[in-house]
Each structure stands twice: as C-alpha cells, then as structure tokens.
Structure 1
Amino acid sequence: MAVLVTNEVFSCFVFYAVLLVMKMFIMAIITGQVRLRKKAFANPEDALRHGGLQYHREDPYVERCRRAHINDMENILPFLFLGAIYSLTGPSLAVARLHFLVFFVCRVLHSIAYLCALRAPTRSMAYTFAQIPCVSMALQILMAVAAYA
C-alpha cells in the first residue's frame, strides 16, 4: 500500500477517482430526491408508501436524472479501470493529471448539461472531450504491455 501512496500519479488518480465516485453518489441522491418531489416512483411498494399506486409512474425529469446517472456509470466505471492501470505504467505526473482533470471536468459539465437540459452541443461536447483522455490512456496501456503479449 505504501508504494501506491508514494506513487504521485496513482495518488492523483485516486483523488479524481474519489471525486467521481462521490459525484455518482450525488447523482443517485438527486434522482431519489426528484422522485420524491415529483411523486414518481418506479416500484409500486414505494408509491403505496408515498400516497398510492397513482404515483407508480414515470416523470420526464426523473427519467432525465436517471439517464444522467446511468451515463455516469457507463463512463466513469471504465475510467476507473483505465486510470488505475495507466497510473501504474509510469506516466508523467503532469500529463496524467491533465488526463484525470479533463475527464473529471467534462463529466461534471456533462451532468450539469443533462440535468439542466442545456442546448446542444454542450452535453455532447462534454461527453466527447471526456472520451479523449480515456482513449489516450487505453492506447498508452496497450503500448506499455504490447511487448508482453
């Protein structure tokens, strides 16, 4: 464990990884709170507990929050894998930090754009720019291990 903590790139990755996981938790909380406020429950037992089966329904804004949360899971989880492995390949701290920061900022912007229904192309640009560091890390990992394959 001490080796991982003294690896500056890995420590930098862990910092951004924890922020991203916290962001995913926040998205889950937002989705739940919007469900409560809009009285739109996915499960009949939840609807019954909060006023009746008429609240076992979909709401467009709840669905928007849910899709934003799912999108986070589809994109942040691969980043966590790639970033951890990439950190152990010996990249430059400055370059690695840039990869992690760009991904983090773009994911935050993507969520804001999704939740606020901002006009195109904000959300798609944030998504696209977040993919650049992921592709870069994946290629660098492949080049680092190619000799062993």
Structure 2
Amino acid sequence: MLRNNNVVFSCFVFYAVLLLLKMYVLAFITGQVRLRKKAFANPEDAMRHGGLQYHRLDPDVERCRRAHRNDMENIFPFLFLGAIYSMTGPSLGTARLHFVAFTAARVLHSVAYLAALPAPTRSLAYVAAQVPCLSMALQIMAAVASYA
C-alpha cells in the first residue's frame, strides 16, 4: 500500500501500472514486427539491417504503431483522470469498477487492433473505455464545481 493510505489511489496505481506495462509490450511488439519485416523508420537503422531498401513503411508495422498511438491518446488522459478521481473520495468498489472496465477495454482494443478482429470489435472496445473516463470526469467536475 502507498504511504498516504488512500486505498482508492493504491487501486488506481495498480491498474495504471498495468496499462503502462501493456504500452511497453506494444512497443516491444512493434519493434519485433519491424525487425521481422525489415521495415525501418530511419535510414541508419535500415543500413544496419541490410541497406536503404529497408527504410520503408510496412502495413503490419504501421498497424502496431497505430495501436500504440491510440493507447497514448487514451491511456494518458485516463492516468490524469484516475489520479484526480481517486482524490474525490469515491468508494473503493465504484473506483475499482471504473479502473477495471477501462483496463479490460484497452486490452481488448489492443488485441482487436493487432489481430485485425472484425469491426466493430475495436470500436466497441474504444467506446467501452471512454465510458469510465467520462464518468470519472463528470464526478470530478461535480466534486469541484462549488470551488469554481
């Protein structure tokens, strides 16, 4: 447990770290696909791995990069919202539900992206992750509205 004894914040930290580890896994997968497909973004990397002909785009590498970029566009706001939300005094059960729902939806989103699952799997996962974020944002606004 963290020193401030805020169990909701400790719960948030657990899921935040899981999400960051998931992002590292996506980065690793992107690098492995790049190496396997010999598709390098920088000429110096291409030269190291066989020549300038490998300084090119590859659809599989680009799919991994898009999945990673989408994570950054969604997980970073969650990290901010979740940290602030944890300070508003929600019940542990309600907070955990928000954190688990977001984490599960983002994992599903990444799997759907990388495996090219049929539509609308990825879109539904995206929306499912937005619901807890919107809920936390509204609860934060309600908690601080009297101070604005």
Q: One fold, TM greater than 0.5?
A: yes
Match of 1:143 in 2: 142
* Structure 1 residue 2 displacement after superposition: 1.8
Match of 2:8 in 1: 9
**Residue aligned with 1:2, SS:** coil
* Structure 1 residue 148 displacement after superposition: 0.5
Match of 1:38 in 2: 37
Match of 1:86 in 2: 85
Q: How many residues align?
A: 147
Distance 1:126 1:55 in 2: 34
**Residue aligned with 1:106, SS:** helix
Distance 2:100 2:16 in 1: 10
| Residue 54 in structure 1 maps to residue 53 in structure 2 | yes
Corresponding letter in the other structure for 2:3: A
Corresponding letter in the other structure for 2:114: L
Corresponding letter in the other structure for 1:92: S
**Residue aligned with 2:24, SS:** helix
Residue pairs, 1:47-126, within 5 angstroms: 47-126=46-125
Distance 1:86 1:18 in 2: 16
**Residue aligned with 2:116, SS:** coil
Corresponding letter in the other structure for 2:15: Y
**Residue aligned with 1:41, SS:** coil
* Structure 1 residue 41 displacement after superposition: 0.3
**Residue aligned with 1:58, SS:** coil
Structure 2 spans left out of the alignment, 5+ residues? none
**Residue aligned with 1:69, SS:** helix
Identity of aligned residues (%): 76
**Residue aligned with 2:88, SS:** coil
Corresponding letter in the other structure for 1:78: P
**Residue aligned with 2:57, SS:** coil
Over 3 Å off, 4+ runs: none
Distance 2:98 2:74 in 1: 14
**Residue aligned with 2:66, SS:** helix
Distance 2:77 2:3 in 1: 25
* Structure 1 residue 141 displacement after superposition: 0.3
**TM-score with structure 2 length normalisation?**
0.98
* Structure 1 residue 12 displacement after superposition: 0.4
| Residue 28 in structure 1 maps to residue 30 in structure 2 | no
**TM-score with structure 1 length normalisation?**
0.97
Corresponding letter in the other structure for 2:10: S
